Amino acid sequence: MSTALLDLVLPPRCAGCDAPGALVCPRCTAELHGEPARRMPAPCPPGLPECWSAAEYAGGPRRAILAYKEHGRTALAHPLAGALALTVAAAAGERPVILVPVPSARPALRRRGHDPVTGLAELAAGYLRVAGWPATVARVLTQRRRVADQAGLSARRRAENLAGAFRVAAGHNRARLGFWAGRGAVVLVDDVLTTGATLAEAARALREAGTEVPLAATVAATRREDEFRNHHRK
């Protein structure tokens, strides 16, 4: 029986701490929603947009993201997308937003059976619209070539692995992308910020197609003691 189906038929347990009673318990929800903040990796790769995230990639948020992304607990999309929506709102101010999800590799899509980042972007845009915030999802990025698994790679190796990996899909020309950008802030969306290599490559592909990308938003961001800075907008 699939994990998603088990979530429907069995009493739920928190994905963050395994406490009974909810998919994400109140304590882990507070940790997940945290305080959306500007969090930039150090060193920062060239061309990286201003990055915001809801929480650190540790503890309950890390376990919830992994359960959703890798272990089939797709019902977790709702609390994770709620955290993402709060982050987008904090980053964009009062501007309308166009959310551009980072594309998943085809092998990962087949293995997982769903597109985790696009799913979060669609739900987050819906939450923002319910709150009266103009929000659109533009699924315009695609992978140009296969890339190696990023796990365990250094920041430099991640950048090399992803160089030239993304492109804007056919049919999305400069005029159309420019039209979207003129309607609000373009925000790249991913689940986790690590070194920034993925978001920098996605931003490059959009800039090559004529669209500036001022912002990126993730559910969580990795903190490494000597490589990560946390800046709060004043």
Which tens digits make up the pLDDT trace of 178-226?
556 667 889 999 999 999 989 999 999 998 888 889 999 999 999 754 4
The pLDDT, as a whole number, for residue 229 is: 44
CA angle 43, 16, 32 (to 5 degrees): 55
The pLDDT, as a whole number, for residue 169 is: 79
The pLDDT, as a whole number, for residue 119 is: 94
CA distance 39 to 73: 27
The pLDDT, as a whole number, for residue 228 is: 41
Helix (H) or strand (E) holding 52: strand 50-56
- What is the C-alpha radius of gyration for the chain, rounded to an integer number of angstroms? 17
The pLDDT, as a whole number, for residue 12 is: 82
CA distance 65 to 120: 11
**Would you give the DSSP letter of residue 126?**
H
* pTM of the model as a whole: 0.83
- In this structure, the dihedral spanned by the alpha carbons of residues 107, 112, 114 and 116, taken in order and rounded to 10 degrees, is -100
- Asked if 33 and 82 touch (Cβ cutoff 8 Å), the reply is yes
Token pair, residue 32, equals: 């997940």
The pLDDT, as a whole number, for residue 225 is: 46
43 upstream amide cis, omega within 30 of 0: yes
- Cα-flanking dihedrals φ and ψ of residue 195, to 5°? -95, -15
Paired with 135 in beta bridges are 97
The pLDDT, as a whole number, for residue 155 is: 56
CA distance 230 to 228: 7
Q: Which residues of the chain have pLDDT under 70?
A: 1-11, 105-114, 144-165, 170-182, 224-234
Could you tell me which of 87, 65, 89 has the C-alpha nearest to residue 76?
Answer: 65
